[in-house]
Structure 1
Amino acid sequence: MKEFLKLCSLLLAYWKRILIAFFSMIMVSIFTSISALLIQPVVDHLFIPQKGMDKILPVISGDFLLKILSIRKENYYFYVPVLIVIVFFFKFIFRYISSYNMNVVGVFVSKDLRNKLYSHIINQSASFFSSRPVGELISRVTNDIDKIQFALSETIGDLIRESITLLGLIVVIFSQDFTLALFSILLLPFSLIPIVSLSKKMKKQGLIGQKKMSEIANVLVETISGNIIVKAFNREKGEEKRFQQKTEEYMNASRKIAKIVNFTSPFMEFLGGVAAALIIYIGTYRINKGIISPGQFTTFLSSLIFMYTPIKILSKVNFNIQQAIVGLERFEEIMSIEPEVKDKEGVKPFPPFKGEIEFRNVTFGYGDGTKILKNISFTVKPGEMIAIVGLSGAGKTTLINLLLRFYDIQEGQILIDGMDIRDGTIESLRAQIGLVPQDIILFNDTVKNNIIYGVNGISEDKIVEVAKITQCLDFINKLPEGFNSSVGERGQLLSLGQRQRIAIARAIIKNPPILIMDEATSQLDSESERAIQKAIENLSKNRTIIVIAHRLSTVRKANKIIVLDKGKIVEWGTHNELLKKGGLYAHLYALQFPDIKE
């Protein structure tokens, strides 16, 4: 019940529409009851007219309604059909109003939940994304919220409307024959047995089903985004089997749910048949004894038939609510996760940086406890260009992740202009650092919008100037719509080199005092690489630049080169100094340029 009330509480933000829907549901119930009552005068006065019926009719009856409307019995043949049409017309109007408003509220709430969930996800720390499959997160934002929306739009509306309708019809049957109605109601608890007993099973299977759907989404994301690898390794058949296995698992979970859900309706029909047989037998006896009129019994029986639809709908309500509760629990599970990296309370934005960077005894390891960086210390002066080199896995990119506060250090300090990077807002820190990542990501938008991503108020002349500096202008001008051309999903309409140059332009256009280049020229040909290196030299004036590179040709002119190995700084110096030392740097250089002797 607590979980159900929590689900219903989502509707409170749109209480005005809920009130309109609730009022309309009451009106639907009233008109449904009236339609049942109008059957009595049709049978008693038009089909099988009998004298003395007025003496045994209850207060709440079709005759009573017609008397209120001052309709004489001789005119029943005309007015009763007209009234039936009017009643069903208003029932249609109010049912439409109630359904429309509940659906609109469901759409509004799902929009709010999706926006809230996406906002919470996008503001999470890097560790959050590294530990969760993309497909699972997509499923939570789409499939889980869909379950909640359906429950709010349809199921809760059905629950309220059909319950009120059922209540109105119960009043009608009790008004016609209290004894017969009491007997009918005694059968009702039997119909609740499968609903109550199967609730926990439905919730459990619903959770399994939604997890399996998350796995399907994850396979889709992996294989569609990695389709080139799938094709290159002839894994189409293998991935088909993997996908079919996941859909098979989802189907099995759905079959178990279907067994539970589809048991309820036939069981209800069976109970309804038993009840109808007994009621007809007892009702016929009471008519023969003159206790009730044929019209009363027909109204009673019609009301029971009308009750079948609400009961049938209500029997399926529980399943949809359990599905929504699972979706809400999964929603709250994500919402309860706080970002590991966040602003300290009361911190203010950093002032403009001059560009001095200091790593002071920095130690860091990821979630498994393995230390990636061990007691790292170095200083970069404003306007210097330093390079960080080393074998794969040495910790080069981790240094950058820490400087940008994608992760927080566990020991030591990182200082910019003497200020600990944790003592200012994350937004003001990242706003002053330009990043060209190793894994180039462009968004499915225009070239222009990818270049100015995250920056406002940039003039067209500035965009062209930056494109020219980063060797982008020539190829952009050859695109069908120039700067307004789409780059496609993840930039797939451009070559790797073109994507990399767009990424460099995106970092430079911020005019940041600190620029980080993580393998920024790895996809460029030699000519473009030389042009970018020249551009970097021009940009290095009054700017601190950190270059991470495997290709050592890109770091020769750095003011300082730091060599990492197994998370430690093993040597540092200029290109020539490191070659003279004959250490790891000289070894790496010799491997890349075996024919060059310096």
Structure 2
Amino acid sequence: MHPGRSYRRLIPFIQPHLWMLLLGLMCTLGFVLTMPALAYLIEWVARSIGAGDLGQLRLLALIGVVFFLVRGAFQYGQDALMARASLQMVLELRQRLYAHLQALDLDYFSGSRTGDLVYRLTGDLDRVGEVVQRFFHRFIPSVLTIVAVVGYLFYLNGILTLTTLVIAPLMGALISWFGDRLLFRSRLNQESMSDLAALLTEVFAGIGLIRAFAAEEYEIRRFSTIAESNRLARFQTEQVKAIQDPVVGFLYAMSVLGVFWVGGWQISQGNLTGSQFLGFIAGIAMLIDPIVHITNNYSELKQGEASVERIFELLDIRSQVCDLPGAKPLPPIQGWVEFDQVSFRYKPDQPVLKQLSFKVSPGEIVALVGSSGAGKSTLVSLIPRFYDPQQGCIRIDGIDIRTVTLQSLRRQIGIVPQEITLFSGTIASNIAYGQEHFDLEAVRQAAQVANIHTFIESLPDGYATLVGERGVTLSGGQRQRLAIARAVLLNPKILILDEATSALDNESEALVQEALQRLMHRCTVFVIAHRLSTVRTAHRIFVLEQGQLLEQGNHGELLGKGGRYAQFHLRQFQ
């Protein structure tokens, strides 16, 4: 009866707090021993009390008060110390897991469910903390109690003790078997809880779409189906525990009956007195509570093992894009970008980019044009190393970007995506995202460049205005200009624009375009263009087709060639 191997991986997280847990365990032992000690002391004092001896009675009352105060102190110590140690362990494990998730590739998140990750960071970790606390608070003291009682029983009568323990191996095997069943059921339970959390995350994020399609009843049915699966999984877990308790109780009862049979035989042979037998039975009664605690706590340990497995399953995932050994900070750059025979694929049999080679000079504006799936977004994702190419090399100012630290690389690259992400907080903190301490004046200047300063100043709280979750209180154009202000504050030498105006009305587009022009003259720019009207002023236009660079040149040159770009232009404007 040992916890699964998964718990061994918790040892490095438990070790720093082991002294606190052991101190709490000592308090537990003190708490358990105070009552027998008090009973013995009362008996000893009572024997010495004379008739009408009021002073001795007062002494007895005082001793009782002192013992209960000591017992309360031990109880507080065991609860507070073990809770503190387990919660600190959970905090450190949660921080470690969160930091690990921050380092994982984007590819991992594209295939993961947000609700599942949230539940692992919350529900699973909380359960692990509860199990660790229960292990030291209940399981170990119960084991120690059984060892002490069994030693005492051997002292009273070895034959009867062996009779009591003869069924112990079978009991242990059954508890272990039930534990394996509980582990299996608990895995299903945790998975169903993750499904439920994932569904709720999806629904609350897309509540507007649900309203638009009048899909409330559909979502209620979906929720009910998953909730019913969770109910069934939890019931099956409780069902296993409900079967386990009477089975273990029956075996214990059989053991006690065996003791009565052997004890009766010994009494008939004159090897045991009735009072000795009653004393032994009283000792056996002391085993009931610790056996119940061990059985129940072992069940909890097996259920918690499913959560431990899910946590370390995440920690075992390794990022493919990371700082290589010996990586150095990227020095301040000018903005030279070079692709040298770069090939990339998301899956082994599906190439996305094929041997791309080109050079971009500082201050040059390059527009990327092509049909959906041509590789435009993938190309710009390789520059900040969201992914690494399988072949070829990408250099910035002649430096292979794989030889520098990710943070120093990405700090010099600004990105304005089509879908803007804003976080709950103030407008100022969103513009200065990633900076714990920022200069508000610099934020104001960035907002002026982005054509959003006047709007912010018109708000009741100005830059201290809360934008709401995902920026739902702002229009699309306002969110875009906040994203531009964010990029301006970063002051990048390389700027990536993913068609930042495609979903805007004419007035908003004009404001955003003006802001972009102010930003673009400062750096090397890559523009993903879905509307050709936005790329006419680009210095060069790259036409991508099936992951290859099919054409390049400025707007007039490519129209004159009458090639793929000219076809795009004809399709959009005629």
Q: Pick from 360, 366, 386: which aligns with 2:366?
A: 386
Equivalent in the alignment of 1:260? 240
Q: Pick from 144, 166, 169: which aligns with 1:164?
A: 144
- Aligned residues of 1:126 and 1:406 also touching (Cα < 8 A): yes
Q: Structure 2: how far apart are the matches of 1:101 and 1:181?
A: 36
Pair 1:16 & 2:23 matched: no
Compute the displacement of 1:407 (Å).
0.2
Q: Structure 2: how far apart are the matches of 1:309 and 1:91?
A: 19
Equivalent in the alignment of 1:31? 34
Matches within 5 A, 1:419-434: 419-434=399-414
Pair 1:155 & 2:131 matched: no
In structure 2, relative to structure 1, the CA distance for the partners of 1:178 and 1:228 (3 Å cut) is: same
Pair 1:218 & 2:198 matched: yes
Compute the displacement of 1:235 (Å).
2.4
CA shift digits 1:242-265 (9 cap, x unpaired): 222222222222222112112222
- Aligned residues of 2:165 and 2:255 also touching (Cα < 8 A): no
Q: Structure 2: how far apart are the matches of 1:26 and 1:287?
A: 36
Pair 1:117 & 2:97 matched: yes
Give percent identity, aligned residues only.
34
* AA partner of residue 338 (structure 1): R
Q: Structure 2: how far apart are the matches of 1:92 and 1:261?
A: 32
Q: Structure 2: how far apart are the matches of 1:168 and 1:96?
A: 24
- Aligned residues of 2:418 and 2:501 also touching (Cα < 8 A): no
Equivalent in the alignment of 2:355? 375
In structure 2, relative to structure 1, the CA distance for the partners of 1:171 and 1:80 (3 Å cut) is: farther
Pair 1:348 & 2:328 matched: yes
Q: Pick from 160, 168, 186: which aligns with 1:206?
A: 186
Report the 3-state secondary structure (helix = DSSP H, G, I; strand = E; otherwise coil) of the residue aligned with 1:365: strand
Report the 3-state secondary structure (helix = DSSP H, G, I; strand = E; otherwise coil) of the residue aligned with 1:529: helix
Equivalent in the alignment of 1:47? none
Compute the displacement of 1:130 (Å).
1.8
Equivalent in the alignment of 2:569? 589
CA shift digits 1:49-70 (9 cap, x unpaired): xxxxxxxxxxxxx59x955x69
Q: Structure 2: how far apart are the matches of 1:278 and 1:298?
A: 15
Q: Structure 1: how far apart are the matches of 2:162 and 2:60?
A: 29
In structure 2, relative to structure 1, the CA distance for the partners of 1:443 and 1:461 (3 Å cut) is: same
Compute the displacement of 1:285 (Å).
10
In structure 2, relative to structure 1, the CA distance for the partners of 1:9 and 1:151 (3 Å cut) is: farther
Matches within 5 A, 1:80-99: 90-99=70-79
Compute the displacement of 1:30 (Å).
2.8
Q: Tell me which moved more, 90-99 or 217-226.
A: 90-99
* AA partner of residue 442 (structure 1): L
Matches within 5 A, 1:245-284: 245-271=225-251
Equivalent in the alignment of 2:460? 480
- Aligned residues of 2:381 and 2:387 also touching (Cα < 8 A): yes
Compute the displacement of 1:182 (Å).
5.0
In structure 2, relative to structure 1, the CA distance for the partners of 1:396 and 1:4 (3 Å cut) is: closer
Equivalent in the alignment of 1:42? none
Equivalent in the alignment of 1:312? 292
Equivalent in the alignment of 2:48? 72
- Aligned residues of 1:470 and 1:505 also touching (Cα < 8 A): yes
Q: Pick from 508, 512, 515: which aligns with 2:488?
A: 508
- Aligned residues of 1:453 and 1:506 also touching (Cα < 8 A): yes
Q: Structure 2: how far apart are the matches of 1:124 and 1:198?
A: 37
Equivalent in the alignment of 1:552? 532
Compute the displacement of 1:114 (Å).
0.6
Q: Structure 2: how far apart are the matches of 1:551 and 1:285?
A: 98
Compute the displacement of 1:26 (Å).
2.5
Equivalent in the alignment of 1:325? 305
Report the 3-state secondary structure (helix = DSSP H, G, I; strand = E; otherwise coil) of the residue aligned with 1:404: coil
Q: Tell me which moved more, 334-343 or 84-93.
A: 84-93
Q: Tell me which moved more, 331-340 or 425-434.
A: 331-340
Q: Structure 2: how far apart are the matches of 1:305 and 1:91?
A: 23
Compute the displacement of 1:590 (Å).
3.2
CA shift digits 1:444-489 (9 cap, x unpaired): 1111001011246643222112112212123222333221111111
Q: Structure 1: how far apart are the matches of 2:278 and 2:65?
A: 19
- Aligned residues of 1:466 and 1:509 also touching (Cα < 8 A): yes
Pair 1:139 & 2:107 matched: no
Normalised by the size of structure 1, how large is the TM-score?
0.86
Pair 1:523 & 2:503 matched: yes
Q: Structure 2: how far apart are the matches of 1:85 and 1:169?
A: 28
In structure 2, relative to structure 1, the CA distance for the partners of 1:509 and 1:321 (3 Å cut) is: same
Q: Structure 2: how far apart are the matches of 1:268 and 1:84?
A: 38
- Aligned residues of 2:395 and 2:401 also touching (Cα < 8 A): yes
- Aligned residues of 2:7 and 2:308 also touching (Cα < 8 A): no
Q: Tell me which moved more, 319-328 or 492-501.
A: 319-328
In structure 2, relative to structure 1, the CA distance for the partners of 1:297 and 1:498 (3 Å cut) is: farther
Equivalent in the alignment of 1:449? 429
Q: Structure 2: how far apart are the matches of 1:83 and 1:456?
A: 57
* AA partner of residue 27 (structure 1): G
Compute the displacement of 1:8 (Å).
5.0
Q: Structure 2: how far apart are the matches of 1:166 and 1:303?
A: 10
- Aligned residues of 1:450 and 1:506 also touching (Cα < 8 A): yes
CA shift digits 1:93-142 (9 cap, x unpaired): 42332232122111111111110001001111112212222222222212
Q: Structure 2: how far apart are the matches of 1:290 and 1:346?
A: 79
Q: Tell me which moved more, 155-164 or 73-82.
A: 73-82
* AA partner of residue 26 (structure 1): L
Q: Structure 2: how far apart are the matches of 1:476 and 1:298?
A: 85
In structure 2, relative to structure 1, the CA distance for the partners of 1:292 and 1:125 (3 Å cut) is: same
In structure 2, relative to structure 1, the CA distance for the partners of 1:412 and 1:193 (3 Å cut) is: closer
- Aligned residues of 1:504 and 1:520 also touching (Cα < 8 A): no
In structure 2, relative to structure 1, the CA distance for the partners of 1:537 and 1:495 (3 Å cut) is: closer
* AA partner of residue 369 (structure 2): V
* AA partner of residue 448 (structure 1): A
Q: Structure 2: how far apart are the matches of 1:105 and 1:382?
A: 55
Q: Structure 2: how far apart are the matches of 1:381 and 1:229?
A: 44
Unaligned runs of 5+ in 2: none
- Aligned residues of 1:385 and 1:559 also touching (Cα < 8 A): yes
Compute the displacement of 1:438 (Å).
2.3
Unaligned runs of 5+ in 1: 39-61
Q: Tell me which moved more, 85-94 or 116-125.
A: 85-94
In structure 2, relative to structure 1, the CA distance for the partners of 1:32 and 1:191 (3 Å cut) is: farther
Q: Pick from 88, 101, 117: which aligns with 1:108?
A: 88
* AA partner of residue 159 (structure 1): F
Q: Structure 1: how far apart are the matches of 2:271 and 2:400?
A: 94
Compute the displacement of 1:188 (Å).
4.4
Q: Structure 2: how far apart are the matches of 1:159 and 1:518?
A: 57
Q: Structure 1: how far apart are the matches of 2:257 and 2:66?
A: 32
Q: Structure 1: how far apart are the matches of 2:63 and 2:317?
A: 59
Compute the displacement of 1:556 (Å).
1.3
Report the 3-state secondary structure (helix = DSSP H, G, I; strand = E; otherwise coil) of the residue aligned with 1:379: strand
Compute the displacement of 1:409 (Å).
0.7
* AA partner of residue 346 (structure 2): Y
- Aligned residues of 2:449 and 2:519 also touching (Cα < 8 A): no
